[in-house]
Amino acid sequence: MILFWIVFIPLAGGLLAWLAGTRGPLAGRKKDLSARFISLAALVLDTILVVFLFLGKPAGIAGGVWLARVNWSWLPALGIGFHLAVDGISLLLVLLTVFLGIAAVISSWTEIESQVGFFHFNLMATLTGIIGVFVALDLFLFYVFWEIMLVPMYFLIAMWGHEKRIKAAVKFFIFTQLSGLLMLAAILGLYFFHGRETGVYTFDYFKLLGTHVDTGPATVLLLGFLAAFLVKLPAVPFHTWLPDAHTEAPTAGSVILAGLLLKTGGYGLLRFAVPLFPEAAMEIAPLAMSLGIIGILYGAVLAFAQTDIKRLVAYTSISHMGFVLLGVFVWNEKALQGVVIQMLCHGISTGALFILAGALQERVHTREIERLGGLWTVAPRMGGAWLFFALASLGLPGMGNFIAEFLVLLGTYEVSVAMATFAALGLVLSTVYAVWMAQKAFFGANREGWRIPDLETRELAVMTAMIVMILWLGLYPQPYLDKARDGLSTLQKNAAVSQAGGAIKVFGRER
Amino acid sequence: MTALEIKAILPFMVLAAAQVAIILGIALRRSHRLTFALAIGAVIAAVLAVLLGPAPSPHSLTPLLVVDGYAVFFIVLILLSGLFTFLISYGYLEARRENREEFYVLILTALLGSIVLVASTHLASFLLGLESLSVSLYALAAYARTSELSFEAGIKYLVLAAFSSAFLIFGMALTYAEVGSMEFTAIAAKAATPGMGPVFLAGMMLIIVGIGFKLAVVPFHMWIADVYEGAPAPVVGFIATVSKGAVSAVLLRYFMQVDAYGGNSLTLFFVCIAVASMFVGNLLALFQDNLKRLLAYSSIAHMGYLFVAFLASGGLRVTAVVFYLTAYFIVNLGAFGVVTILSGKERDADRLDDYLGLFFENPWIAGVLTVMLLSLAGIPLTAGFIGKFYVLAAGIDSVLWFPVICLIVTSAIGLFYYLRVLIVLFTPAPENAAAVKHTLSAGAFALALPVFLLVGLGVYPGPVLTMIINLAAR
């Protein structure tokens, strides 16, 4: 039941904020303020519930890895249930969601001035969709949440975005919707395969695990799932929506896109794509890993070529998410732990960079890197925060991102030395763009004579919290690794047990 | 005739009697309000007559009509659509110069024709129902006589529909010559046996041409955009739902009786129609600046999706078709309801520019249209999604990979124009533009109904699905 509340409190808060922002009793600007405070309060309440689950003992459901669960009947005629459950992996991602949600609300405190109530409704509805994706264990329900997060996100970009917002919003929507429909077709395909084999027609994740599908059809179905996840992640040939959407979205939108929406792709690979079709996944693993490496290198090189600061950060996301794709298809313990930590750290560090870019744009009204410069002396706090997250992004030891990428590389090394070598090149390239980006924006001559206010208390508080999280993940990641471990080993077990022929081959090790 | 049969045929009689009564009433005294009340009363009485009628075990009324659960479902759906059309049309007609009262008579006639259609089991009753529906629609399309567009729409519809009826009747004649019976069961039996002769095949093809015209599937879709654009908005909503819905219901009844259908040459024909409709409808809709034309092309595409479900063979087919049609009814009534409500005295609010910044001026109406568009686009939590989900499921269950992939690709194309309208709604109108002030009639409240139904069916379709599955089982 607590899960139900965790998913729907943001939505309820969003509705309330909308109501308060349009029909509320307060006058003028206070109306907008009430919408902001209501959203914030709802997210804080949600965070308390999540932390409560986080600290609590495992409830011992279904082998002990599931910390909480809701399983209600929804459309029994089709075998669809309202089935939510959360294990360590999901819980970490939900925690990230509420954390970044709060950061997004606070960072858009002064940026959004029109239709404030409706803005917060869209923001909170997106968060509900994302949390739903992380906890849904019925494939139909999963798809519903997957699509639900699109519509409000579309509105966020199209209504409050920057200059080319409409084109970016439409592109984002069509990419994700088309790939989503392919996934729906694949889900239905699996549903009928399972139904014909066992006579039980169901969308339940646990029942569908271990469905025997021949390698040929299984590959087709897997490709359907991959379509959705690789577009969201994004992996390289499917990434073109990302720079546009991230750049044109308002700050809160960029934070949620980069910090959370991309993670739904990684989570989908981890939870659904590989465990449901382990053999087919093994078949295409070399290809997927290559795509991951291409993404790492390509994103980094293109980031360096950007002149728009938000676009630059957007391309670094492509590079970092390449590690997630690589790690998932390596599929050994180290790599998977790296994937989870990477998703958390990338969410926080890129989210922070987008918040800073937004704060910068609010002050100087440009995103052109060439026109920036010399801001360090004018706004030292902002410069310091920027430098910190730039270093986090390049994977400096001591920060979480280093742990994550190191673990993925270590895992990859066990499987293929060549792949690990190529992926490691990404670290070098990221140093180039990260240092370049900090150098151009904050150091050098202040040619345009910028005089801007430094970060105010509100923004500083968000930055501090994010810095603390990155350092915590970098210096002492053990509690987070522990939390994810059981969930990951269960995933590995699921993928291994359902191999045909009885002999348990540990996926990944033997290539 | 037994008491049970009279009870079963009561809704037909109520509608027929109501028309006569209203015509006589108009002859005595013209009163829009009175006519409106009478028409509403007649439809409600007919709905009650259906619902309180004999338990819907099949009642054959002569060889022509059968009132079974399936017919009852569609009769209620059609009558409720008629009711909704009345509710939103009152304000629309009030604002216009033409005679208002005959509108209700024509709609009632069309309703009678439609419910005869969905209950027909015989080519004769099929033709009778179809013609009384069509003839009323000719007049309705041209109802705004002073508007050239409306007049053009009426003439166009008349000429082309009469032409298609000729095809239909010739096809019926050929079929009769071969089968020796006009009952659907006999024809279905013939179609299911292998080795059908060329005469029978030609007859069936001609009948399908006639039906295809009514449904406006490619390549019989030429009339739809002009008629949608010219005809008054409430009439378009009525044509889009009742006329197409009733014909689809007949088609489904026929399909249900041809069990072993796979493998003959007509399947290929239907695949071609489905795929062509999906592509042509969605692609042409991309270029429209007129909301009515846009919805016209989008409806071609939706009929294409529906045909994918028709092609499926498993138990999911009937559920998919019926649910999809239900969602289609609701969403079109809602969308054209919005157009009707916003239309001014001079012309219908059908240009996309008319909708610029509607969200800021009137959030409620903009919200209604948003839900309709999301449902048309098949976004979850709307009935449109469940409908599309069922069509996909039926298609995949029957291994129709080619049409299913086409459906997915064309749905993505469709998003372009639905999103385009959405953007217009949420883009602030320029300050200096001569803003069209929309005065809203009471009918605006009636729009809550489609919104409620769409979201309700999207979130919790269970009860309705169970009902439809029970219909199919019978």
The ipTM of this complex is 0.91
Name the residue with tokens 């549903």.
A191
pLDDT at position A61 is 56
pLDDT band at residue B186 under the 50/70/90 scheme:
confident
| Nearest-10 crossing angle of helices B198-215, B148-179 | 160
* pLDDT for position A509: 44
Q: Which two tokens stand for residue B442?
A: 């009471």
The arithmetic mean of pLDDT across residues B37-60, rounded, is 85
pLDDT on residue B379: 92
Contacting residues for A236 by C-beta, under 8 A, at least 6 apart: A291, A294, A295, A298, A299, A318, A322
Q: pLDDT tens for chain A, 511 residues: list them.
A: 889 999 999 999 999 999 988 877 777 778 888 899 999 999 999 999 999 888 876 655 555 678 888 889 898 888 999 999 998 899 999 999 999 999 999 998 888 888 888 999 999 999 999 999 999 999 999 999 999 999 999 999 998 988 888 999 999 999 999 999 999 999 999 999 999 888 889 999 999 988 888 888 999 999 999 999 999 988 988 999 999 999 999 999 999 999 999 999 999 999 999 999 998 998 899 999 999 999 999 999 999 889 899 999 999 999 999 999 999 999 888 999 999 999 999 999 999 999 999 998 888 888 888 888 888 888 889 999 999 999 999 888 989 999 999 999 999 999 889 999 999 998 889 988 888 888 888 888 877 778 888 888 899 999 999 999 999 999 999 988 988 888 888 888 888 755 443 333 444 444 3
B162 touches chain A (CB under 8 A): no
B6-12: average pLDDT: 88
B379 CA to chain A: closest CA distance, Å?
7
Q: Identify all chain A residues contacting B377, using CB atoms and an 8 Å cutoff.
A: 177
Query: CA–CA distance from A41 to each of A7, A54, A87 (Å)?
Result: 15, 20, 26
Q: List CB contacts (< 8 A) between A169 and chain B.
A: 419, 423
pLDDT at B406: 95
Residue B439 pLDDT class (50, 70, 90 cuts): low
Q: Please report the pLDDT score of residue A491 as a whole number.
A: 87
Better-scored residue on pLDDT, B13 or B438: B13
CB B142 within 8 A of CB B227: no
- Residues of A in Cβ contact (< 8 Å) with B387: none
- Please tell me whether the peptide bond between B219 and the residue prior to it is cis, using omega within 30 degrees of 0: yes
* Cα angle for residues B148, B151, B154 (degrees, 5° grid): 150
Q: Number of residue pairs across A and B with CB atoms under 8 Å? A: 71
Torsional sign, CA A325, A329, A330, A332: positive
Of A54-63, B33-42, B154-163, B393-402, the poorest mean pLDDT is in A54-63
pLDDT of residue A37: 93
Please name which of B135, B320, B109, B339 lies closest in space to residue B236, comparing C-alpha atoms.
B339
Query: Among residues of chain B, what percentage have pLDDT more than 90?
Result: 58
Q: Which residues of A touch B (CB under 8 A)?
A: 22, 74-78, 143-144, 147-148, 150-151, 154-155, 158-159, 166, 169-170, 173-174, 177-178, 181-182, 184-185, 188-189, 191-192
Distance (Å, whole) CA A237 – CA B202: 49
A310-346 residues labelled b (16+ CB within 10 A) or e (exposed): bbbbbbbbbbbbbbbbbbbbbbbbbbbbbbbbbbbbb
Res B168 pLDDT > 60: yes
> Range with the lowest mean pLDDT among A472-481, B183-192, B257-266, B458-467?
B257-266
Q: If pLDDT is split at 50, 70 and 90, which confidence band does B1 have?
A: low
Ordered DSSP codes for B370-415: HHHHHHHHT-TTSHHHHHHHHHHHHHHHTT-HHHHHHHHHHHHHHH
List Cβ neighbours of A180 (8 Å cut-off, separation of 6 or more): A143, A146, A147, A150, A228
B49 versus B259: the higher-pLDDT residue is: B49
Inter-chain residue contact A184 with B416, CB threshold 8 Å: no
Arithmetic mean of pLDDT over chain B: 88
pLDDT band at B235 (very low <50, low <70, confident <90, very high): very high
Regarding predicted confidence, which is higher, B435 or B5? Answer: B5
pLDDT bin (cut points 50, 70, 90) of residue B433 is low
Any CB–CB contact under 8 A between B362 and chain A?
Answer: no
CB-CB under 8 Å, B426 with A181:
no
Mean per-residue pLDDT, B211-227: 92
B397 vs A147, A178, A192: nearest CB: A192
Distance from CA of B222 to the nearest CA of A (A): 29
CA distance B217 to B275: 10
pLDDT of residue B317 exceeding 70: yes
Residue B441 confidence (pLDDT): 64
Alpha-carbon Rg for chain B, nearest whole angstrom, is 21
- pTM equals 0.93
Spell out the residues 6+ positions from residue B134 whose beta carbon is closer than 8 angstroms to its own. Answer: B113, B161, B165, B214, B243
